[in-house]
Amino acid sequence: MLKTQQSIFNVNLLFGFVLIVSPWLVLLLGSFFTGHSITNLVPVWSDELEYWHEVLSLSQKGLNHGYYTYNEVIPAFSTFGPHGFGVVSVYALFAKVFGWKVYSIVVANAFFMSLAFLFLILILKPTVKQITFIILLTITFVPFLLFSTTSMSEGLNYALIAIYFALIYRFIQRGEKKLLLALIAVCTVFSLIRIIYIILFLPILFIRNREFMFDRKLLLFISIWLIFSVVLFVINGLFVSPFPDSFLHELFTTNGIIGKTELFFSHFFQNIIKFINPLSDNILQTAGRYILLIVLFYSLIKSGTFQFKPKKIRIDFFVVNLILFFVLIITFAAYDVFDWRDYRVFAPVLYGCMLFLIFNSNKFELYSLLVINVLVLVVSLLKPQIWESFNEGRLSPITENVLLRKIEFIDNPTNNFDNTLVVQSFNQNMVLNVPAGIGISVVDSLSDGLKSKYIFSAKELNLKTHKLLYSDKSGYLYKIN
């Protein structure tokens, strides 16, 4: 009997270890397809470069780093860029412990995912069967695979969602008050990392006592949630520099209530049409959207919500339906459905819902989820141009820019613009050469009157407020008079 128990323990330990290292296996597989090692992967896209350099500055120079802005429009507090302080702070903690290289976000994402799986194993103690399905889900979930070799914050978001659903499942099983408090704290922190995670509070309001609750208190709690969500949104906005190329920025800057209303509903219904139109984007984005709709409607039917009998509602499927529904609503209302933008928002949440269903579904449902993911993976492999677009320029060697290396960081500036560089556009060779602590502000035009201390231009400028400091074949570096 003891030998049997020991054997079961050893098998669980082995499969648990495989689950924990599976994000690294995905990363190794992704880098193998590119033909290079992990250390050759560098940031390429503007978001990646902004993440990477802002983390470099925060981890090495603290809060005195320069501004990361567009058109030098700064936040009410701090010097953080459009991505906010939450996500940058998490990566900065990683950088403090492990250092910061050009490939560090890629490694950090795998590390965060491994920590999330370790947390899941410790808190839920899944069976070998459940662990197997989680591994298969992870290595066949195309959105996770696509972004695994990028320096985007996807890995962090997948890890956060995995932790959340592990806590929700544990709370439904045991109903411990300390878990409820932990969920509230976790949802608050996560919402400061990605504001759409305010929806993660909703299941807590309905399952306060391990069963579906639809009473007078629910209206009170929803009202408190709405107020708290607005407070979190405002707090987050105070520490985030405005991003002009977004619907919310356009909405807030539109004059008049009628103009705002027309713009909102026009944007909302256009997003719905784009979401359901199979020809609006490439096949992988379309597949992701339709999988979300399939899981959404299936969970709606399985939850029994239409019966209007609270005691007969299945909490597990209700949670999935509730979260996916509001992810869609917020995506349509506040995001843009095109160019991977909506895909990035809903994909981690969809993964988390599938992960949650592994602990609640029958064999047919489990195998159906796996078959769907495998089919999408096969389709993606038949579209190599999509994978190539994700890795284009990611393996290029970084050229040293001597001019940018001459920029000097000031430890105690009277104004954070003293540690800010202005550019009209940027690329990896530019950003990866800017010293730590020097913020980067992108402007529409390089002209007199800019507040930032440094200006870098590919062309020679005739300026009165800035003087030419250095120049070479890479461009011209100016410093404020």
Q: Which of 435, 473, 429 is nearest to 454 (CA)?
A: 435
Residue 394 has what pLDDT? 81
Closest CA to 479 of 466, 463, 464: 466
- What secondary structure letter does DSSP report for 311? G
- Among 270-274, 352-356, 385-389, 423-427, the minimum mean pLDDT is found in 385-389
Q: Which residue has the tokens 């407070």?
A: 231
Q: Is the pLDDT of residue 4 over 70?
A: no
Over range 303-325, report the average pLDDT: 85
Q: Which residues pair with 455 in a beta bridge?
A: 422, 478
pTM: 0.93
User: Which pLDDT does position 358 carry in this prediction?
Assistant: 94
At 306, the pLDDT band (50, 70, 90 cuts) reads: confident
- 188-225 tens-digit pLDDT: 999 999 999 999 999 999 887 767 777 788 889 999 99
* 264-283 per-residue burial string, b: 16 or more CB within 10 A, e: under 16: eeebeeebeebbeeeeebee
Instruction: Output the CA angle 40-43-44, nearest 5 degrees.
Output: 115
CA distance 25 to 185: 31
Per-residue pLDDT, 384: 85
Exposure class string for 237-262: b at 16+ Cβ within 10 A, else e: bebbbbeeeebbeebeeeeeeeeeee
Q: Which amino acid is at 318?
A: F
Per the listing, tokens 């950003």 go with 431
Question: Tell me, what DSSP letter sits at residue 406?
Answer: T
Comparing C-alpha atoms, which of 410, 416, 479 is closest to residue 74?
A: 416
Who contacts 130 (Cβ-Cβ below 8 Å, separation ≥6)?
358, 359
What is the mean predicted confidence (pLDDT) over 316-338? 94
Is pLDDT above 70 for 312? yes
pLDDT in tens, 117-145: 999 999 999 999 999 999 999 999 999 99
CA distance 316 to 303: 7
pLDDT at 55: 97
| 285 neighbors 343 (Cβ within 8 angstroms) | yes
**Average pLDDT over every residue of 86-91:** 95
Average pLDDT over residues 367-387: 91
240-292: pLDDT as tens digits: 998 888 888 888 888 889 999 999 999 999 999 999 999 999 999 999 999 99
Q: Please, which residues bridge with residue 472 across strands?
A: 475
d(CA 346, CA 407): 40
| DSSP-derived pairing of the beta strands 420-423 and 439-442 | parallel
If pLDDT is split at 50, 70 and 90, which confidence band does 325 have? very high
Mean of all residue pLDDT scores within the chain = 90
For the chain, what is the radius of gyration of the CA atoms? Answer: 24
- Taking each helix axis from N to C end, the angle separating 85-98 and 46-61, rounded to the nearest 10 degrees, works out to 60
Residue 231's Cβ-count burial label (10 Å; 0-12, 13-18, 19+) is exposed
Rounded Cα gap, residues 84 and 149, in angstroms:
23
- Separation CA 333–CA 198 (nearest Å): 14
- Residue 3 pLDDT class (50, 70, 90 cuts): low
pLDDT at 417: 96
pLDDT of residue 451: 95
Residues of the chain with pLDDT > 70, as a percent, come to: 95
Judged by DSSP in three states, 470 sits in strand
> pLDDT tens digit string along 32-62?
666 667 888 889 999 999 999 999 999 999 9
Instruction: Specify the pLDDT at position 43.
Output: 93
* pLDDT confidence of residue 300: 93
| DSSP-assigned beta bridge partners for residue 475 | 472
* The amino acid at 76: A
Q: Is 453 helix (H, G, I), strand (E, B) or coil?
A: coil
User: What phi-psi label fits residue 147: left (phi over 0), alpha (psi between -120 and 50 degrees) or beta?
Assistant: alpha
Q: How far apart are CA 454 and CA 401, in angstroms?
A: 15
The phi-psi region of residue 356 (left if phi > 0; otherwise alpha if psi is between -120 and 50; otherwise beta) is alpha
Helices (runs of H) and strands (runs of E) counted in the chain: 19, 6
CA 271 to CA 331: how far, in whole Å? 8
